[in-house]
Amino acid sequence: MSFSYANPYTSTRLPVFARNVVATSHPLAAQAGLRMLQQGGNAVDAAVATAAAMTIVEPVSNGLGSDAFCILWDGQQLHGLNASGRAPRAWTLDYLRGKFGADAVHFAKRGFDTVTVPGAVAGWAAMSRRFGKLPFADLMQPAIEIAERGYLVPVVVQQKWAAATPELQGLPGFADNFLPWGRAPKVGELFQFKAAARGLRAIADSGGEAFYRGEIAAALCAMSQAHGGAHQLADFADYQPEWVTPIGQDYRGHMLHEIPPNGQGIAALIALGILEHFDVAGLPVDGVDSQHLQIEAMKLAFADVYRYVAEPSSMAVTPAQMLDGAYLKRRARLIDMQRAQDFGAGNPAKGGTIYLTTADEDGMMVSFIQSNYMGFGSGCVEPTYGISLQNRGYGFSLDTASPNVVAPGKRPFHTIIPAFLTKGGQPQMSYGVMGANMQPQGHMQTLVRMLDYHQNPQTACDAPRWRYNQGLSINVEASLDPATVQGLVARGHQIDVINDSYQDFGAGQFIWRAGDPKTEGYIAASDARRDGLVAGF
């Protein structure tokens, strides 16, 4: 029987209630995390096992050569982890201009010249060492089994796989690993990734050391140099993820926490700080006034983020200055409720991604995100160990006036951002919304629905979204009320109505703490825009 996977009917998901929960965008990965919880592990063990499995079952969006970020509540306090990669030491401005031209602003989009040292594996190991209960090697086992035995390719993953193939099929290692029949797999075909199983075993046996100071590092550097890259063993050996203090913004009696720069999470905080000066709840939830106001707040946030955010040592202003209450109040006054605007940056100095979240009955909650950036990242795949490498170096600039100008050992601007909500210093929700610059927009839109309009996490996740691009350009989902779309057009927004929700509007996973985790547990949601699942018990 050959099925059609086009579904003309609306599919409704309901929130899941459980004391131990894993939510992510592939069912097998969610079950990998749940398996760790059932074996006596905690939410960190579940998160690491889920993240490892996700590199196999959603390779379009992430791989063993990804970067990652995490915010976690350990039962007592909040911790942040920045496991994003740094530029190889050979990446000087002169070196890259010599390769790509003196007038180049960005260098390559794909290939080894876009690969910073991948941080995800180091992030897994750091989380496990500090907070995990189970042996690290045990956390890799579900992913190893999936890679060895294979899995049937699901609908959304297959669509993105096929779309990426024409651009990437000629890059080193891509066809051998991801085009097993000389093409992308079809929906429901069995895909096995035995090379990645070998890589995962080496990672498991060494606690991640093989990736940075062992056989995997050697293989990656040899392949890079064979294809014109500049990676050296010392670049990998020197890498360490960084534990950081999350930054936060009050909103409606709660505080939203994000990882500080070099990421864009501060955009969601700025937008919410602006919305604090408006009675959002007094406007109809899906009406033009509410949507216009949120769009304009998000534009103001991005204007500052794109001007200032970079590696902290390269920023002209601090995150605290960007989130200053008086400054955000001044920015809020710029919004005209009857007219869309193209805002410039203010002056605060004067004032392919996968996401997963886990929670356990002891109160530990994890918000975790990892990504290869664009679909399949650099397109380069090391064949012996199945390491699919990100292309985060594309976030650097060759413009010396940019805060993101490339330099050896520097981290580029990052789009991937986990989020965490607290109330009165206690955990409330672990969540994230994937999709490049959609991420802070999704953080803001879904949180407004929950806190201003009291929509449950699944409803807030399912609701139609918009996405700000640049200038006056906005994409909106086809499910948004046509009257609201026309109202936005009348105010000057340039609207494109999009039917492909995966492409433009990201996908979220949510775990809301309902009360005492041992008795009341959590309310969890998974976005229907991907092949996801909430698994719990």
Burial of 104 (0-12, 13-18, 19+ CB in 10 A): middle
Q: DSSP letter string over 357-398?
A: EEE-TTS-EEEEEEE-SSTTTTS-EETTTTEEBP-GGGG-BS
Domains of the chain by range and CATH? Answer: 26-67+82-243+377-395 (no CATH), 247-353+416-536 (3.60.20.40)
**What is the share, in percent, of the chain residues with pLDDT greater than 90?**
91
Q: Note the pLDDT tens digit of each residue in 314-326.
A: 999 999 999 999 9
SS3 145: helix
3-state secondary structure 177-241: HHCCCCCCCCCCCEECCHHHHHHHHHHHHHCCHHHHHCHHHHHHHHHHHHCCCCCCHHHHHCCCC
Cα separations in angstroms, 96 against 88, 90, 101, 229, 314: 12, 9, 8, 11, 19
What string of pLDDT tens digits covers the 537 residues of the chain?
A: 566 766 666 667 899 999 999 999 999 999 999 999 999 999 999 999 999 999 999 999 999 999 999 999 999 999 999 999 999 999 999 999 988 887 777 778 999 999 999 999 999 999 999 999 999 999 999 999 999 999 999 999 999 999 999 999 999 999 999 999 999 999 999 999 999 999 999 999 999 999 999 999 999 999 999 999 999 999 999 999 999 999 999 999 999 999 999 999 999 999 999 999 999 999 999 999 999 999 999 999 999 999 999 999 999 999 999 999 999 999 999 999 999 999 998 888 654 789 999 999 999 999 999 999 999 999 999 999 999 999 999 999 999 999 999 999 999 999 999 999 999 999 999 999 998 899 999 999 999 999 999 999 999 999 999 999 999 999 999 999 999 999 999 999 999 999 876 667 989 999 999 999 999 999 999 999 999 999 999
What residues contact residue 98 under an 8 Å CB cut-off, 6+ apart?
none
Q: Return d(Cα 367, Cα 78) in angstroms, integer.
A: 11
What would the two tokens of residue 498 be? 């999009």
Does residue 353 carry a catalytic annotation? yes
Q: Which of 24, 50, 55, 353 is catalytic?
A: 353
Cα separations in angstroms, 418 against 425, 431, 435: 18, 7, 12
Dihedral (CA of 191, 194, 200, 204) sign = positive
What would the two tokens of residue 499 be? 């039917």
